[in-house]
């Protein structure tokens, strides 16, 4: 038996990451997901004006900057009992959805499909097409997606001034005043991207796809009919490379919901919910969210903390610690989050049929992301029409001064469930805890010896070439850690010792 | 044009600068690289090298076998905890070590964004990560590489601050370097071509500023400088000359400038409030005499045209 230990650094876009695995006869028998960067945002916020969370927290992540802004403004509004006006909620929805469409497009095309253009796949039928369309920096499809993804974020620049890192959402609404011309331009940019998505990705209108392509069989039929679309390419590449067979994790899903109802912004049009051990959805109960610190580099008094009253005290010598990520759990259970969770909670018929047939394979997980713009572009169009129809309605009502209270702001980031837990006293932040989607997916072991979702997804995985563990990269990337895998591997255990770090 | 090589590394940051340059126009980043003759050896969110190739690449750069023209660092250099650098590691070792090794080999080094330039997020006194910029810590020369450091082309670190970097700042800089044209730097080693004017220049709300029609709360259409925390007049960048996403800017839209290209960003003071002394901002535009400025402002307010005064008054009354 050959036993090999590898440390595989994953280049990050959101959070530095290493995956440490133990292989026996080329099969992964242990896995540790290691967040390698600590920035200390929670502690930067303590003592500041609550409004400053609107400027500081977007800078946690350059891809879902608007999502952090959304969570922050909702946390403040929840702490101070503020309800924003309907027109402001629509403008916020437009900003958040546009950012998520940008992220989904860039992740699928620039970060996921680009792997199929690697020489690793040179003997596969799809290889020439993958190189032509998806090769990094040169693929025709990659360039096309780059252009469309910067087109959709113009929506945010028009409403909020710039993408990324703007702070136009404020307690009581938005502080910007887009004109009616601006809002027609917003509609135009949405239509441009929508039209491209329909003709080049799906091959049909989003309505047709939503209504007709509702089962795995119908999807097979659809891609035969529209065989030159990106969707057809994606399916072919995933199937031929075996992604339908690998990458299953816990069938537990959590989604915080998206597209806030303008008339009742505490509820979302795409609903929040959880599904445990399958597709049966139950209501989300935020008091069941806890963070387990048993295997993270933090000090703790109680091993499982509620985010309210929770602490973030780094301690690189913490016993059993191996990552800067905490381990969020829902009623003690590890949960997957992201587009697949959103689709299952929203009872999407196609994704549920696929899930019932092959579970949450890497293919199904990534497909959910490729298809998510269907819903999001539809809501973008609808919200922008409603904005125009209600143009002139107030977008800001000045609230009374922020003082004392606790609030939770939740929203659905591109990568899944994002929550900000705010405690403020006399107009000052006294505690701020952030539970990111990547923390759910990339979480380490907990005190019940349960692995985090993507650790679980690679356990048992067989690696063909340990010098290039491509399969593992696909599985991890199907969670959209927003990073491109780089992999360092060696067949000689002595050589990899130098990469080892911490307790293993 | 001779092909130039570029290596992009991310350290203590949010990847927002990478996301921002993907918005480069016109036509797009990938095509611009092609036109400029830039070969991207490595970028963490774009490249797909096999593990062996990536290792060999770094080894070749460090041995001098692979020429490195432009080394771009995005994110600050984390020295914490206790100067160990272990808050940001690369394969179990402090990432700062790799940064120093690559910096020693590059013809030009570009600090991308405010974190890499001045330290940015996580660089203030009580911040745990002890972030510093490549050659500055806030406005103090030195930073990680030291004030006397020069890259192989005898250049200091070229600072491209901004949170995030404006794509135009990188585009202009690369274009000048590639064509061998002079790249003039300001006192903070930033290209004057982008950082030579203030954010105030070109703001569509200038007319309100001119006549002291100052907003008193969020959501109005006047100037944000006196009350709402706008740092446009005290921040150098071309945000209102080269618009964001070719559309707008924060100040045009109604969001105060937070001074994100400044060495002291993020400032400890509240962001949406102007710190004042005797009713006027503590910080006035660079090089201005306070007494003269106040006199001018009062005269300007008195001279405000009716149509503007009326429009601003109506707007502030109605909301």
- pLDDT tens-digit profile of B105-123? 999 999 999 999 999 999 9
Mean pLDDT value of segment B213-231: 96
Phi–psi pair at A135, nearest 5 degrees: -60, 140
CA distance A467 to A235: 26
Question: What's the pLDDT tens digit per position in B5-17?
Answer: 999 999 988 889 9
CA dihedral B280, B281, B287, B289 (to 10 degrees): 10
pLDDT tops 80 at residue A14: no
How many CB contacts within 8 angstroms connect chain A with chain B? 258
Of the residues B245, B252, B257, B261, the best mutation for testing chain A's interface (the one with the most A CB atoms within 10 Å of its CB) is B245
Question: What's the pLDDT tens digit per position in A356-381?
Answer: 999 999 999 999 999 999 999 999 99
Residue B119 · residue B131 · CB < 8 Å: yes
pLDDT tops 70 at residue A493: no
Mean pLDDT value of segment A293-315: 91
Helix (H, G, I), strand (E, B) or coil at A374: helix
Look at residue B315 in the predicted model and tell me its pLDDT: 66
The two structure tokens encoding residue A139: 């693929």
User: Are B64 and B182 in a shared domain?
Assistant: yes
Residue A117 sits at the chain B interface (C-beta within 8 Å): yes
Mean pLDDT value of segment A16-25: 84
% of chain B with per-residue pLDDT over 70: 97
Listed in sequence order, the residues at least 6 apart from A89 whose beta carbon sits closer than 8 Å to its beta carbon are A260, A261, A262, A265
Q: Which residues of B touch A468 (CB under 8 A)?
A: 50-52
Give the closest-approach CA distance of A477 to chain B in angstroms.
12
Helix (H, G, I), strand (E, B) or coil at B12: strand
Q: How many domains does chain B have?
A: 2
SS (H, E, C) A271-294: CCEEECCCCCEECCCHHHEEEECC
Look at residue A309 in the predicted model and tell me its pLDDT: 86
User: Are B115 and B221 in a shared domain?
Assistant: no
Do the domain assignments include residue B198? no
Residue B151 · residue B107 · CB < 8 Å: yes
Look at residue A483 in the predicted model and tell me its pLDDT: 43
**Mean pLDDT computed over every residue of chain B:** 94
CATH code at position A360? 1.10.645.10
Rg (CA), chain B: 22
User: Are B23 and B153 in a shared domain?
Assistant: yes
Question: What's the pLDDT tens digit per position in A183-194?
Answer: 999 999 999 999
Question: What's the pLDDT tens digit per position in A144-182?
Answer: 999 999 999 999 999 999 999 999 999 999 999 999 999
Q: How many domains does chain A have?
A: 1
**Mean pLDDT computed over every residue of chain A:** 91
User: Are B110 and B249 in a shared domain?
Assistant: no
Q: Looking at per-residue confidence, does A114 or A37 come out higher?
A: A114
User: Are B184 and B245 in a shared domain?
Assistant: no
Look at residue B128 in the predicted model and tell me its pLDDT: 87
> Are the Cβ atoms of B319 and A396 closer than 8 angstroms?
yes
Residue A324: pLDDT band (50, 70, 90) is: confident
Do the domain assignments include residue A84? yes
User: Are B179 and B210 in a shared domain?
Assistant: no
Do the domain assignments include residue A504? no
DSSP string covering B245-303, please?
A: TTTB-HHHHTPPP--TTSTTPSPSS-TTS--EETTEESS-STT--HHHHHHHHHHHHHT
User: Are B12 and B136 in a shared domain?
Assistant: yes
User: Are B186 and B214 in a shared domain?
Assistant: no
pLDDT tops 50 at residue A488: no
Do the domain assignments include residue A47? yes
For B278, counting Cβ atoms within 10 Å of its Cβ (0-12 exposed, 13-18 middle, 19+ buried), the class is exposed
Look at residue A495 in the predicted model and tell me its pLDDT: 33
% of chain B with per-residue pLDDT over 90: 82
> Are the Cβ atoms of A142 and B30 closer than 8 angstroms?
yes
> Are the Cβ atoms of A39 and B81 closer than 8 angstroms?
no
Mean pLDDT value of segment B164-177: 98
For B282, counting Cβ atoms within 10 Å of its Cβ (0-12 exposed, 13-18 middle, 19+ buried), the class is exposed
Residue A110 sits at the chain B interface (C-beta within 8 Å): yes
Do the domain assignments include residue B38? yes
Chain centroid to CA B181: how far? 22
- Domain span at residue A160 reads 3-499
- Domain span at residue B285 reads 206-318
pLDDT tops 70 at residue A494: no
- Size (chain B), residues: 319
Look at residue B316 in the predicted model and tell me its pLDDT: 63
Residue A13: pLDDT band (50, 70, 90) is: very low
Mean pLDDT value of segment A36-50: 88
pLDDT tops 60 at residue A12: no
Of the residues A101, A317, A486, the best mutation for testing chain B's interface (the one with the most B CB atoms within 10 Å of its CB) is A486
* Whole-prediction pTM: 0.96
Helix (H, G, I), strand (E, B) or coil at A230: helix
Task: Using the Cα atoms of residue B17, residue A67, residue A427 and residue B273 in order, give the sign of their dihedral.
Answer: positive
Do the domain assignments include residue B201? no
Q: Looking at per-residue confidence, does A442 or B183 come out higher?
A: B183
Helix (H, G, I), strand (E, B) or coil at B39: strand
Look at residue A16 in the predicted model and tell me its pLDDT: 62
Mean pLDDT value of segment A318-344: 95
Mean pLDDT value of segment B15-36: 95
Do the domain assignments include residue A383? yes
Closest-CA residue to B16 (of B228, B151, B152, B162) = B162
Mean pLDDT value of segment B209-213: 93
Look at residue B55 in the predicted model and tell me its pLDDT: 81
For residue A292, what are the β-bridge partners?
A304, A327
Closest-CA residue to B6 (of B65, B90, B70, B76) = B70
User: Are B150 and B281 in a shared domain?
Assistant: no
Question: What's the pLDDT tens digit per position in A238-277?
Answer: 999 999 999 999 999 999 999 999 999 999 999 999 999 9
pLDDT tops 50 at residue A501: no
Residue B310: pLDDT band (50, 70, 90) is: confident
Look at residue A492 in the predicted model and tell me its pLDDT: 31
> Are the Cβ atoms of B250 and A166 closer than 8 angstroms?
yes
> Are the Cβ atoms of B18 and A119 closer than 8 angstroms?
no
% of chain A with per-residue pLDDT over 90: 82
Q: Looking at per-residue confidence, does B50 or A497 come out higher?
A: B50
User: Are B55 and B127 in a shared domain?
Assistant: yes
Do the domain assignments include residue B200? no
Cα three-residue angle A49-A50-A54, rounded to 5 degrees: 110
Which of B80-85's residues contact partners 24+ apart within 8 Å by CB, and which partners?
B80/B127, B80/B128, B80/B129, B80/B130, B80/B131, B81/A314, B81/A316, B81/B128, B81/B130, B83/B130, B84/A316
Residue B48: pLDDT band (50, 70, 90) is: confident
Helix (H, G, I), strand (E, B) or coil at A449: coil
User: Are B137 and B211 in a shared domain?
Assistant: no
User: Are B219 and B283 in a shared domain?
Assistant: yes
Look at residue B257 in the predicted model and tell me its pLDDT: 98
Mean pLDDT value of segment B166-187: 97
């Amino acid at each position: 038996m050959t036993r090999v230990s590898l440390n595989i650094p994953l280049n990050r876009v959101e959070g530095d990451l290493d995956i440490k695995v133990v292989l026996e006869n080329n099969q992964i028998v242990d896995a540790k997901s290691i967040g390698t960067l600590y920035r200390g945002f929670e502690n930067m916020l303590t003592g500041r004006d609550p409004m400053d969370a609107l400027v500081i927290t977007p800078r946690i992540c350059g891809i879902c900057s608007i999502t952090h802004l959304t969570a922050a403004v909702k946390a403040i509004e929840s702490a101070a009992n503020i309800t924003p006006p309907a027109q402001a909620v629509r403008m916020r929805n437009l900003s958040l959805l546009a950012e998520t469409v940008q992220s989904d497009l860039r992740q699928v095309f620039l970060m996921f499909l680009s792997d199929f253009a690697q020489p690793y796949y040179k003997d596969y039928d799809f290889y020439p097409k993958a190189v032509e369309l998806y090769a990094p920096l040169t693929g025709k499809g990659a360039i096309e997606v780059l252009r469309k993804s910067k087109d959709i974020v113009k929506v945010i620049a028009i409403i909020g001034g710039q993408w990324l890192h703007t702070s136009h959402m404020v307690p009581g609404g938005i502080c910007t005043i887009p004109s009616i011309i601006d809002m027609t331009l917003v509609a135009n940019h949405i239509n441009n991207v929508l039209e491209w998505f329909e003709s080049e990705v799906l091959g049909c209108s989003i309505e047709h796809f939503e209504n007709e392509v509702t089962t795995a069989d119908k999807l097979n039929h659809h891609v035969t009919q529209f065989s030159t679309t990106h969707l057809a390419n994606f399916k072919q590449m995933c199937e031929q490379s075996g992604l339908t067979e690998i990458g299953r994790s816990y069938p537990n899903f959590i989604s915080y919901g998206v597209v806030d109802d303008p008339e009742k912004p505490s509820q979302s049009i795409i609903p929040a919910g959880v599904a445990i051990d399958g597709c049966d959805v139950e209501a989300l109960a935020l008091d069941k969210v806890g963070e387990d610190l048993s295997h993270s580099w933090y000090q703790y008094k109680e091993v499982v903390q509620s985010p309210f009253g929770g602490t973030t005290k780094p301690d690189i010598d913490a016993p059993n610690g191996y990552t800067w990520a905490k381990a969020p759990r829902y009623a003690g259970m590890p949960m997957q989050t992201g587009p697949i969770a959103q689709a299952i909670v929203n009872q999407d018929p196609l994704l549920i049929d696929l899930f019932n047939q092959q579970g949450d394979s890497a293919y199904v997980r990534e497909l959910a992301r490729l298809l998510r713009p269907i819903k999001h572009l539809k809501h973008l169009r609808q919200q922008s029409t409603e904005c125009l129809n209600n143009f002139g309605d107030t977008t800001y009502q000045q609230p009374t001064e922020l003082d004392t209270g606790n609030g939770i702001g939740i929203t659905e980031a591109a990568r899944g469930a994002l929550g900000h837990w705010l405690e403020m006293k006399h107009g000052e932040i006294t505690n701020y805890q952030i539970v990111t989607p990547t923390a759910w997916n990339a979480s380490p072991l907990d005190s019940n010896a349960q692995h985090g979702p993507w650790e679980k997804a690679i356990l048992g995985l067989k690696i063909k070439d340990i010098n290039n563990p491509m399969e593992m990269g696909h599985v991890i990337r199907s969670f959209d850690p927003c990073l491109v895998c780089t992999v360092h591997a060696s067949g000689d255990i002595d050589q990899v010792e130098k990469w080892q770090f911490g307790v293993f | 044009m001779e092909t130039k090589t570029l290596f992009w590394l991310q350290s203590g940051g949010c990847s927002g600068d990478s996301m921002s340059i993907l918005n480069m126009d016109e036509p797009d980043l990938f095509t611009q690289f092609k036109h400029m003759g830039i070969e991207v050896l490595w970028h963490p969110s774009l490249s797909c090298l096999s593990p062996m190739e990536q290792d060999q690449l770094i080894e070749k750069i460090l041995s001098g076998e692979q020429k490195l023209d432009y080394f771009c660092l995005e994110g600050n250099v984390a020295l914490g905890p206790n100067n160990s650098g272990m808050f940001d590691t690369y394969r179990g070792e402090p990432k700062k070590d790799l940064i120093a090794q690559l910096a020693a080999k590059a013809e030009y080094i570009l600090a991308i964004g405010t974190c890499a330039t001045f330290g940015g997020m996580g660089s203030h006194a009580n911040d745990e990560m002890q972030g510093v910029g490549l050659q500055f810590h806030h406005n103090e020369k030195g930073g990680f590489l030291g004030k006397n450091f020069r890259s192989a082309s005898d250049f200091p670190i070229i600072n491209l601050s901004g949170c995030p970097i404006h794509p135009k700042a990188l585009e202009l800089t690369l274009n000048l370097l590639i064509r061998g044209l002079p790249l003039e730097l300001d006192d903070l080693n930033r290209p004057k071509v982008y950082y030579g004017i203030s954010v105030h220049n070109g703001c569509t709300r200038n007319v309100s500023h001119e006549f002291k029609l100052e907003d008193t709360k969020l959501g109005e259409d006047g100037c944000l400088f006196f009350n709402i925390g706008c740092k446009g007049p005290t921040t150098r960048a071309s945000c209102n000359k080269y618009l964001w996403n070719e559309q707008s800017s924060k100040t045009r839209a109604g969001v105060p400038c937070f001074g994100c290209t400044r060495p002291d960003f993020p400032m400890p003071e509240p962001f949406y409030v102007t710190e004042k002394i005797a009713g006027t901002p503590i910080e006035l535009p660079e090089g201005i005499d306070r007494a003269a400025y106040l006199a001018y402002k009062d005269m300007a307010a008195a001279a405000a045209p009716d149509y503007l005064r009326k429009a601003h008054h109506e707007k502030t009354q109605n909301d």
